[in-house]
């Protein structure tokens, strides 16, 4: 268990700058997520930590230990590959034993450790099976056992659940968190799936075109996105452009938009709003409450253009003036509104309106 | 893979190629065009002025053309059938179809002569039914046995075309044909306008190899005693190689023709290397043949295979015959020739020599092949595509040209004379065999690396294995099948190598099998029978090697040839 520091790391592949001066600090024992769309640099960063890439500039530290130029086999990280990378010419037990064999551990000891590790991931019965006889979920467990058995300084997970079906994914993600916490592992988890990140992360770094957009706990990232790109990437949201009308002493800001005026909170506490600043409001669809009538602030009125009924949620598309469409979600809807109804009203709490400085 | 290692491998292999591929060719060309330090075209001009050499070249050209056409005629329908239908015994027949490739063609020549010769088994058989008058028997092998050479070449080389065409067809997106069908094209129209043009690069690649191979083939015309062809003229010229520049000039002309052919073909056919976008599942393309069609398919394959191995069956009969003259089959059988052959001073040492040369050269090929393939697939250094291209070049350069180059570069006074110490050709033969067969090993190793995900190697390093340990514990075991396949091809071809063996091994104690067979064949008395017996011995050795390897691999025979 070790803390990890990424210090101003940059990496260029040909003409593209894959990592642009990235700095991060990951606490010992933390389950840390790198989240972003494909091509944002998250896997590249993970492979730097594993040692498969060397940064063009910057440093990587494990605790106080500078590992920037340490080859992968001397880093004692354990990586779980997206493809699992289980060796098809070895049995399950052989795969799991590999790391310990490379450490020249006693045979008997290896055997005990292997059966214990397979037990941890609930695969004890399959130790003599061949890899191609396993299902996707079983392969995933073996890959996890193979990574855990070497007692790595940190566990690196590269989209470990992307090859599993939806139900198994839910089961495995809590399993991964359980095991990480049980072993007290520092773990870095790469994914593009925000639900995975929000549900089990201690902290999340959102990456965008090789830079870190925001680092924070799941709640911070979801409720207080600092930028449009973070707000847009995590969950669904409505962006409404506007200008600052007033800045109140309690930190609230009043904004004028074409759909009326809204009171909300600042995305970044450091920002000092000035009147007439151009801003963007981010309002999550589920933050709206469907209401009977219009009020002066923090509410919208428009024509109901679409309804998507998902059981637990009803999603409404509201056609506003000027051809904009706002999304409103109602949880556990008892009465459905159908397109064609003349007026549709919804209001939102100032706490749920995030004001992002453009 | 770290860059310094990649560069070291690159430089080492490039140096190997410069010394043992470029240098021998350059030496030959130099001898052909330089007289007393002056550039001259006299020697080459002399060739084109001499009707004997012109005839040799035109015969070589005709042999190559007819051999390629015949091979195409055999391979094309087989490839189409294999691509389209699932029929009884397909796996087995599909593997056996490739066997002729490793049957020594110049040994088969003995059998063909015995069966198709004027006094051969076929004519005797036909005369018994009254179809042929033995006082003026028809000459099936043609004047100077031209057709004998063509038949033997085609029967030996059609598997190369078959492999290339099936690979090309397998890469075709079935939707290409289906869309033509959907638009109302008849089967023949689909074949002519869609399948054939799209498969052309593959067909061409195979045809080029077959053409160049038969254009410069030495062993087969030599065994048919067909003297009026360039390769044999060159071989005969060795006797007075010391001062005579003509063999060199002939080799240079031959090389020139091969290269022009290769480039011209690439220009006309190879340019549009169609890349297929998505591929539908193969299962939609291959369908089970109806019982009748299935029988016909199996029958066709079986027919071709028996035809292809029939010269070698002739050899086996020959080796068992007490006497075989003026009769359909040998009058009586004996094992005498085998024991005689083993007792002969030429045979046992030649077998030992061939095993030694071939296994060392195969090992060299494996080491070079793995290193080159690793750089090509796993490194990102700029020169890796060049390395890929040059490692394939030995396929395009005639073996005769290289053999001659090696001879020239190891002559007394040349810097590489030390490779032929006191006429012992072990070193230079090992190198010659290795260079010629390297492309097979490189191709199969490259395929292996490409099929093996980098993740698997990185996972090992991630768990603490050094790069070398990773190679040993993960990479090599995963590509073993590919390496064995490539290594076996290299070994089998080395065992049967003709040009280098005949030209470079000049002292009897160092003869490899092929030269021993050639020498025995020319010997008086029971030479023919002994040569056949030795030929059968060599085929048995090959069979044991290949079957043994396939058992060790736990795979079917055919998998070995699908490199």
CA distance A159 to A35: 10
- C-beta atoms surrounding B320 within 10 Å: 20
Torsion over CA of B455, B458, B464 and B467, rounded to 10 degrees? 140
Taking contacts as CB-CB distances below 8 angstroms, the residues of chain A near B461 are 51-52, 71-73
> What value does the mean pLDDT take over residues A42-64?
92
A74–B464 C-beta distance less than 8 A: yes
> What value does the mean pLDDT take over residues A231-259?
89
Taking contacts as CB-CB distances below 8 angstroms, the residues of chain B near A102 are 460, 463-465, 469
Taking contacts as CB-CB distances below 8 angstroms, the residues of chain A near B477 are 89
B477–A89 C-beta distance less than 8 A: yes
Sign of the Cα torsion B454, B457, B461, B467 reads negative
- Are B321 and B111 a contacting pair, CB within 8 Å? no
- Considering the domain boundaries, does residue A358 fall inside one? no
Terminus-to-terminus CA distance in chain B, angstroms? Answer: 25
B460–A146 C-beta distance less than 8 A: no
Check whether residue A152 and residue A299 sit in a common domain: no
Angle, helices B121-128 vs B105-116, to 10°: value is 20
The pair of three-digit structure tokens given for residue A255, joined into one six-digit string: 């904004």
Predicted local distance difference test score (pLDDT) of residue B260:
84
Residues near A48 by Cβ (< 8 Å), separated by ≥ 6?
A6, A9, A11, A19, A54, A55, A60
How many angstroms separate the CA of residue B381 from the nearest CA in chain A?
A: 13
Q: A216 is in which domain, residue-wise?
A: 4-228
B453–A83 C-beta distance less than 8 A: yes
Chosen for mutation from A49, A69, A72, A148 (greatest number of chain B CBs closer than 10 Å) is: A72
Which of A52, A102, A156 lies closest to B464 in CB terms? A102
Residues in chain B: 563
- Considering the domain boundaries, does residue A242 fall inside one? yes
A88–B473 C-beta distance less than 8 A: no
How many angstroms separate the CA of residue A12 from the nearest CA in chain B?
A: 14
How many angstroms separate the CA of residue A99 from the nearest CA in chain B?
A: 5
Sign of the Cα torsion B403, B408, B413, B416 reads negative
Chosen for mutation from A44, A87, A150 (greatest number of chain B CBs closer than 10 Å) is: A87
- Considering the domain boundaries, does residue A357 fall inside one? no
Phi, psi of A242 (to 5 degrees): -165, -175
- Are B425 and B510 a contacting pair, CB within 8 Å? yes
Q: What is the pLDDT along chain B (563 residues), one digit of tens a residue?
A: 567 778 888 888 888 888 888 888 888 888 888 777 778 787 888 888 888 888 989 999 999 999 999 999 999 998 888 888 888 877 778 777 877 877 778 788 888 877 777 677 777 777 777 766 666 677 666 666 788 889 889 988 888 888 878 877 877 776 677 777 777 677 777 788 878 887 887 788 788 888 888 888 888 888 888 888 888 888 887 766 566 778 888 888 888 888 887 777 666 665 444 444 333 334 445 677 778 888 888 888 888 888 888 888 888 888 887 776 666 677 777 777 777 777 777 888 888 899 899 999 999 999 999 888 888 888 888 878 788 878 877 877 778 888 888 888 887 777 777 777 777 888 889 999 999 889 888 888 887 888 788 889 899 999 988 888 998 899 888 888 778 878 887 888 888 888 888 888 888 888 898 888 888 887 766 777 888 888 888 888 777 777 776 666 554 444 444 43
Taking contacts as CB-CB distances below 8 angstroms, the residues of chain A near B458 are 50, 52, 72, 79, 81, 85
CA distance A26 to A205: 10
Separation in Å, CA B397 to CA A128, A268, B153, B233, B258: 50, 71, 18, 18, 7
The pair of three-digit structure tokens given for residue B541, joined into one six-digit string: 């050795």
Taking contacts as CB-CB distances below 8 angstroms, the residues of chain B near A73 are 461-467, 469-470
Predicted local distance difference test score (pLDDT) of residue B271:
47
- Are B349 and B509 a contacting pair, CB within 8 Å? yes
Token pair 């007490």: residue: B322
- Considering the domain boundaries, does residue A57 fall inside one? yes
pLDDT at A11 over 90: yes
Taking contacts as CB-CB distances below 8 angstroms, the residues of chain A near B465 are 73, 98, 102
Predicted local distance difference test score (pLDDT) of residue A348:
93
- Considering the domain boundaries, does residue A356 fall inside one? no
Check whether residue A143 and residue A72 sit in a common domain: yes
The pair of three-digit structure tokens given for residue A52, joined into one six-digit string: 């498969």
Task: Please state which CATH class domain B1-25+334-563 belongs to.
Answer: mainly alpha
Token pair 């938009």: residue: A257
A83–B462 C-beta distance less than 8 A: no
Check whether residue A223 and residue A266 sit in a common domain: no
Strand partners of residue B86: B288
A73–B459 C-beta distance less than 8 A: no
Instruction: Tell me the pairing of strands A299-309 and A313-319.
Output: antiparallel
Check whether residue A139 and residue A250 sit in a common domain: no
Q: Is A62 helix (H, G, I), strand (E, B) or coil?
A: strand
CA distance A124 to B318: 63
Chosen for mutation from B448, B454, B459 (greatest number of chain A CBs closer than 10 Å) is: B459
Which of B462, B469, B473 lies closest to A78 in CB terms? B462
Q: How many helices (H) and strands (E) does chain A have?
A: 8, 20
Looking at the structure of chain A, the number of domains it has is: 2
Taking contacts as CB-CB distances below 8 angstroms, the residues of chain B near A75 are 462
Taking contacts as CB-CB distances below 8 angstroms, the residues of chain A near B459 are 79, 81, 85-87, 146
Chain B residue whose CA is closest to A143: B459
Predicted local distance difference test score (pLDDT) of residue B266:
66
Residue B191's nearest CA partner among B205, B177, B207, B178 is: B177
Check whether residue A28 and residue A88 sit in a common domain: yes
The last residue of one of the domains, among A206, A228, A250, is: A228
Chain B residue whose CA is closest to A51: B462
Chain A residue whose CA is closest to B455: A85
Check whether residue A159 and residue A196 sit in a common domain: yes
The pair of three-digit structure tokens given for residue B514, joined into one six-digit string: 């092929």
Q: Which CATH number do you get for residue A277?
A: 2.40.50.140
CB pairs under 8 A between A and B: 67
Check whether residue A201 and residue A261 sit in a common domain: no
CA distance A276 to A255: 9
Taking contacts as CB-CB distances below 8 angstroms, the residues of chain B near A83 are 453, 455
Check whether residue A245 and residue A216 sit in a common domain: no
Query: Which DSSP letter does residue A186 get?
Result: -
How many angstroms separate the CA of residue B391 from the nearest CA in chain A?
A: 27
Instruction: Please state the separation of Cα B280 from the chain's center in Å.
Output: 33
Q: Which H/E stretch holds residue A290?
A: strand A288-291
Predicted local distance difference test score (pLDDT) of residue A206:
94
Query: Which DSSP letter does residue B239 get?
Result: G
Check whether residue A175 and residue A310 sit in a common domain: no
Which of B456, B462, B473 lies closest to A72 in CB terms? B462
Average of per-residue pLDDT values in chain B: 80
Chain A residue whose CA is closest to B467: A73
pLDDT at A23 over 90: yes
Please spell the DSSP secondary structure of B426-491, one letter per residue: HHHHHHHHHHHHHHHHHHHHHHHHHHS-HHHHHHHHHTT--HHHHIIIIIHHHHHHHHHHHHHHHH
Predicted local distance difference test score (pLDDT) of residue B273:
45
- Are B563 and B486 a contacting pair, CB within 8 Å? yes
Cβ burial, residue A340 (10 Å; 0-12/13-18/19+)? exposed
CATH fold of B41-275+292-320, please? MetI-like fold (1.10.3720)
CA distance A171 to B175: 40
A98–B463 C-beta distance less than 8 A: yes
The pair of three-digit structure tokens given for residue A18, joined into one six-digit string: 């894959």
B464–A81 C-beta distance less than 8 A: no
- Considering the domain boundaries, does residue A340 fall inside one? yes
User: Strand locations in B139-260, DSSP E?
Assistant: none
Separation in Å, CA A333 to CA A17, A318, B441: 47, 17, 68
Taking contacts as CB-CB distances below 8 angstroms, the residues of chain A near B470 are 73
Query: Which DSSP letter does residue B100 get?
Result: G
Contacts 24+ apart (CB under 8 A), B377-386: B377/B446, B377/B449, B377/B450, B378/B1, B378/B449, B378/B454, B379/B1, B379/B3, B379/B6, B381/B3, B381/B6, B381/B7, B381/B10, B383/B10, B383/B14, B384/B6, B384/B10
Check whether residue A291 and residue A188 sit in a common domain: no
The last residue of one of the domains, among A228, A252, A274, is: A228
- Are A319 and A271 a contacting pair, CB within 8 Å? no
CA distance A98 to B464: 9
The last residue of one of the domains, among A228, A258, A288, is: A228
Predicted local distance difference test score (pLDDT) of residue B2:
66
CA distance B393 to A199: 57
Which of A76, A79, A103 lies closest to B459 in CB terms? A79
Binned at pLDDT 50, 70 and 90, residue A221 comes out as very high
A89–B462 C-beta distance less than 8 A: no
Interface residues on B facing A, Cβ-Cβ cutoff 8 A: 453, 455-456, 458-467, 469-470, 473-474, 477-478
Residue B356's nearest CA partner among B439, B430, B437 is: B430
Residue A32's nearest CA partner among A217, A203, A147 is: A203
Taking contacts as CB-CB distances below 8 angstroms, the residues of chain B near A81 are 455, 458-459
Q: Where in chain B is the domain with CATH 1.10.3720.10?
A: 1-25+334-563, 41-275+292-320
A76–B464 C-beta distance less than 8 A: yes
pLDDT at A90 over 50: yes
Chain B residue whose CA is closest to A145: B463
Check whether residue A156 and residue A240 sit in a common domain: no
Residue A81's nearest CA partner among B476, B456, B463, B471 is: B456
Taking contacts as CB-CB distances below 8 angstroms, the residues of chain A near B478 are 87-89
Q: Is A37 helix (H, G, I), strand (E, B) or coil?
A: coil
pLDDT at A284 over 90: yes
Buried b or exposed e, range B421-446, using 16+ CB within 10 angstroms:
eeeebbbbbbbbbbbbbbbbbbbbbb
Taking contacts as CB-CB distances below 8 angstroms, the residues of chain B near A98 are 460, 463, 465, 473
CA distance B97 to A74: 50
Interface residues on A facing B, Cβ-Cβ cutoff 8 A: 50-52, 71-79, 81-83, 85-89, 98-99, 102-103, 146-147, 150, 156
> What value does the mean pLDDT take over residues A162-182?
86
Q: Which CATH number do you get for residue A193?
A: 3.40.50.300
- Considering the domain boundaries, does residue A297 fall inside one? yes
B460–A83 C-beta distance less than 8 A: no
């Amino acid at each position: 268990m070790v803390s990890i520091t990424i210090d101003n790391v940059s990496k260029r592949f040909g003409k593209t700058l894959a990592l642009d001066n990235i700095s991060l600090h990951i606490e010992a024992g933390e389950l840390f997520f790198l989240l972003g769309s494909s091509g944002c640099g998250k896997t590249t960063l993970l492979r730097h930590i594993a040692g498969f890439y060397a940064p063009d500039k910057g440093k990587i530290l494990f605790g106080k230990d500078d590992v920037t130029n340490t080859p992968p086999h001397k880093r004692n990280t354990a990586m779980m590959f997206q493809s699992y990378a289980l060796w098809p010419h070895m049995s399950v037990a052989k795969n799991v034993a590999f790391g310990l064999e490379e450490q020249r551990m006693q045979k008997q000891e290896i055997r005990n450790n292997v059966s214990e590790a397979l037990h941890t991931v609930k695969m004890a019965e399959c130790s003599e099976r061949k890899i191609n006889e396993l299902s996707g979920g079983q392969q995933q467990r073996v890959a996890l056992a193979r990574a855990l058995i070497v007692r790595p300084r940190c566990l690196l997970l590269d989209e470990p659940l992307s090859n599993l079906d939806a139900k198994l994914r839910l089961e495995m993600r809590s399993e991964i968190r359980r095991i990480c916490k049980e072993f007290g592992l520092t773990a870095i988890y790469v994914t593009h799936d925000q639900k995975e990140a929000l549900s089990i992360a201690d902290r999340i770094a959102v990456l965008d075109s090789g830079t870190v957009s925001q680092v924070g706990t799941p709640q911070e990232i979801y409720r207080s996105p600092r930028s449009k790109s973070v707000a847009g990437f995590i969950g669904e949201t409505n962006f409404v452009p506007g200008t600052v009308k007033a800045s109140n002493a309690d930190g609230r800001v009043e904004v004028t938009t074409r759909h009326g005026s809204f009171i909300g909170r600042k995305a970044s506490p450091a920002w000092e709003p000035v009147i007439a600043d151009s801003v963007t409001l981010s309002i999550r669809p589920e933050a709206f409450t469907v209401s009977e009538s219009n009020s002066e602030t923090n509410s919208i009125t428009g024509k109901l253009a679409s309804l998507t009924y998902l059981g637990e949620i009803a999603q409404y598309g509201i056609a506003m003036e000027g051809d904009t469409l706002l999304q409103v979600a109602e949880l556990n809807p008892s009465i459905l509104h159908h397109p064609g109804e003349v007026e549709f009203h919804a209001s939102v709490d100032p706490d749920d309106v995030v004001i992002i400085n453009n | 893979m770290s860059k310094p290692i990649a560069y070291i491998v690159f430089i080492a292999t490039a140096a190997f190629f410069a010394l043992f591929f470029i240098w021998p060719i350059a030496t030959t060309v130099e001898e052909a065009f330089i007289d007393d330090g002056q550039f001259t075209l006299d020697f080459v001009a002399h060739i084109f002025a001499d009707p004997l050499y012109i005839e040799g070249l035109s015969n070589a050209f005709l042999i190559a053309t007819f051999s390629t056409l015949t091979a195409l005629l055999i391979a094309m329908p087989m490839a189409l059938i294999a691509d389209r239908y699932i029929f009884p015994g397909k796996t087995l027949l599909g593997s056996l179809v490739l066997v002729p490739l490793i049957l020594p063609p110049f040994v088969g020549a003995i059998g063909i002569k015995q069966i198709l010769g004027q006094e051969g088994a076929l004519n005797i058989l036909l005369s018994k039914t009254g179809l042929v008058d033995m006082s003026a028997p028809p000459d099936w092998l043609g004047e100077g046995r031209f057709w004998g050479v063509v038949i033997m070449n085609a029967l030996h080389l059609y598997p190369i075309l078959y492999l290339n065409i099936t690979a090309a067809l397998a890469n075709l997106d079935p939707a290409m044909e289906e869309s033509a069908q959907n638009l109302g094209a008849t089967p023949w129209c689909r074949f002519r306008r869609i399948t054939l043009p799209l498969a052309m690069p593959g067909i061409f690649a195979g045809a080029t190899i077959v053409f160049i191979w038969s254009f410069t083939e030495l062993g087969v015309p030599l065994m048919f005693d067909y003297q009026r062809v360039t390769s044999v003229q060159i071989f005969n010229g060795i006797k007075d190689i010391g001062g005579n520049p003509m063999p060199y000039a002939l080799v240079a002309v031959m090389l020139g023709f091969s290269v022009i052919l290769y480039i011209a073909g690439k220009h006309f056919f190879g340019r549009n290397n169609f890349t297929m976008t998505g591929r539908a599942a193969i299962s939609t393309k291959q369908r089970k043949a109806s019982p009748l069609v299935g029988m016909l398919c199996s029958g066709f394959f079986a027919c071709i295979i028996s035809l292809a191995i029939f010269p070698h069956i002739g050899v086996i009969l020959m080796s068992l015959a007490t006497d075989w003259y003026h009769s359909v089959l040998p009058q009586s059988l004996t094992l005498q020739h085998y024991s005689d052959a083993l007792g002969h001073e030429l045979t046992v040492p030649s077998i030992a020599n061939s095993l030694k040369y071939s296994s060392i050269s195969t090992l060299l090929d494996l080491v070079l092949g793995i290193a080159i393939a690793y750089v090509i697939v796993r490194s990102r250094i700029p020169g890796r595509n060049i390395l890929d291209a040059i490692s394939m070049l030995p396929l395009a350069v005639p073996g005769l040209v290289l053999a001659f180059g090696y001879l020239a570069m190891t002559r007394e006074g040349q810097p590489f004379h030390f490779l032929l110490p006191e006429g012992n050709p072990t070193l230079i033969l090992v190198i010659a065999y290795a260079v010629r067969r390297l492309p097979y090993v490189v191709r199969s190793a490259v395929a292996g690396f490409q099929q093996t995900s980098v993740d698997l190697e990185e996972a090992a390093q991630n768990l603490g294995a050094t790069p070398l340990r990773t190679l040993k514990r993960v990479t090599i075991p995963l590509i073993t099948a590919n390496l064995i396949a490539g290594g076996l091809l290299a070994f089998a071809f080395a065992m049967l190598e003709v040009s280098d063996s005949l030209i470079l091994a000049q002292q009897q104690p160092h003869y490899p099998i092929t030269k021993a067979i050639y020498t025995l064949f020319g010997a008086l008395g029971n030479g023919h029978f002994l040569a056949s017996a030795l030929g059968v011995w060599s085929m048995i050795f090959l069979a044991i090697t290949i079957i043994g390897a396939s058992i060790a691999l736990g795979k079917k025979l055919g998998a070995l040839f699908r490199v």
